[in-house]
Amino acid sequence: MPEIATAVEIDQFVYLCGNVANGLVEAHGLIVDALGDENGRAVFPLYQALELPEKLTQLYNCERGMLQDLKRYVQQPTVSVETQFLERCRSFISKVDKLAREAKNNLPTSIEQDVYICHRAYLRKLVLLHWTVLDTATKDYGDLPGVGTRTGDLRTALNSLKEFTCVFVSYASQDRDIVTAMRGHIEKLLEVQHVFLWWYQKDSESYDVQGVADARIENGAIWMADLIKRMDRFDVALVLTSESYVKSGPCAIELEQFLAARKDRALRILPIRVSKSSLDDNAQIMRTEWLPKGDQRLRDLTPSQVEDLCVSMLAPSLVRVIKLLADPQAVGEYQRDLKWLEDPPGSVAAEAAAS
C-alpha cells in the first residue's frame, strides 16, 4: 500500500507553495521596477517596444498558476495524497524557487559597466532560467495537476521573448542555398537549447524566424530603416561572407551596423566564409574565430562535410555564445577587450578618452 501524507505534511507543503509564490511575486516586482529605474532608462525604450513588462508578467503568472493549482489539489478533502507524490511536488517547487532566488540575486543594481549591456545580459539569463523551468515541467513533472496544463501557456510566453536568444543571420541572396542547408542542419539542435535564427528573406522581402510572430517587414523603401531599427534587438550576428556579400548594398549596411554595435554594445560577430572574398583579409571581420577553419570555404566542402561542420562546430558555438552573453561580467570583460583592440593604449583615441 502506498504511504499517505499526513495532514501536517500537507500543511507544510501548502506553506511552502505560498512562500515560493511570494518569492515569485517579489522577484517579478523587482525586475519590472528595474526596467524603469534610473539605471534602466537608457534601454527602457527597447523594453517598451518589446512589451517586456507585460511578457514577463505572463511568465510569472504561468508559474504562479502552477503552484496555486498544486496547492488547491492537495487541499481537496476528497483526495488522498501519497507521500511520494507530495515529494515530487516539492521537488518541482524547489526548481521554481531556484528561479526566483537566482532572478533576485542577479538583478542589476550597482552597475559598473555599460547599462545597456548589463541589463541585456541579465534579461537573457532570466529568459534562460524560465526556459529551464519549462523544460523541467515538461520532462519530469508534466503529469502533476496544473503543471502540464500550463506548460503550453508558458511556452507561448517564452516564445514571445526569443529576441534575447536569437542570432541575426546576414547573407547575400546568391548564397540562400547555403543558408537553407545550414538551417536544416542546426535549427532543431539550436531549438533544444532555446537558441533561434533570424534572417531577412531578400527574395520575398520578409523576415523568417523560428516561431516569432513579428517576423515580417513592410515592403518599400523604408525596409532598410526598419531593418536597422530591428537589428538593435540582437546581440549576435552570423555573417556569411562571399564576394556576393561584398557587392550587396544591403549587406554592406548590415555589416556597418554590426561593427558599430560591436563597438557600442559588444555585439558578437561570427564569420562564416562561404567563398573567397575581399573580407577574408579584413581584420575587423576576421578578428574572431571563423568557420570553416584554415583556408577552406563552405563551397569547397561536400554536403556531408558542411553538415558535420554545422552540427559539430557551428551549433555548439552559437549556444556557447548565447550563454556567455547571459553573464554580465563576461560581457563587460569582452567589451573592455574590444576597446583595447580598437583603441590600444597610446593611441590617439585612447588618450582622448582618458583626457
- Max mean pLDDT among 131-135, 334-338, 350-354 falls in 131-135
What are the phi and psi torsion angles at 65 (to 5°)? -60, -40
Least confident residue range of 32-41, 123-132, 176-185, 240-249: 32-41
Please write the tens of the pLDDT for every residue from 233-285: 788 999 999 999 999 988 888 899 898 888 877 788 999 999 999 998 888 88
Place of cell 516539492: 90
Residue 38's pLDDT is: 54
Contacts of 325 (CB under 8 A, 6+ apart): 120, 121, 124, 235, 236, 268, 331
Residue 41's pLDDT is: 55
Please write the tens of the pLDDT for every residue from 122-153: 889 999 999 999 999 999 999 999 899 999 99
Second CATH level (architecture) for the domain 163-342: 3-Layer(aba) Sandwich (3.40)
Please write the tens of the pLDDT for every residue from 17-30: 999 999 999 988 88
C-alpha–C-alpha distance, residues 133 and 154, integer Å: 9
Tell me, letter by letter, the H, E, C secondary structure of 176-226: HHHHHHHHHHHHHHHHHCCCEEEEEECCCCEEEECCCCCCCCCCCCCHHHH
Q: Give 342 or 82, the one with higher predicted confidence.
A: 82
Domain ranges in the chain? 7-160, 163-342
Instruction: State the maximum Cα–Cα separation within the chain, in Å, rounded to a whole number.
Output: 80
Looking at residue 96, its amino acid is: V
Residue 308 has pLDDT above 70, yes or no: yes
Return mean pLDDT, the chain.
82
β-pairing, 166-170 with 236-241?
parallel
Residue 342's pLDDT is: 55
C-alpha–C-alpha distance, residues 317 and 44, integer Å: 30
Residue 87 has pLDDT above 80, yes or no: yes
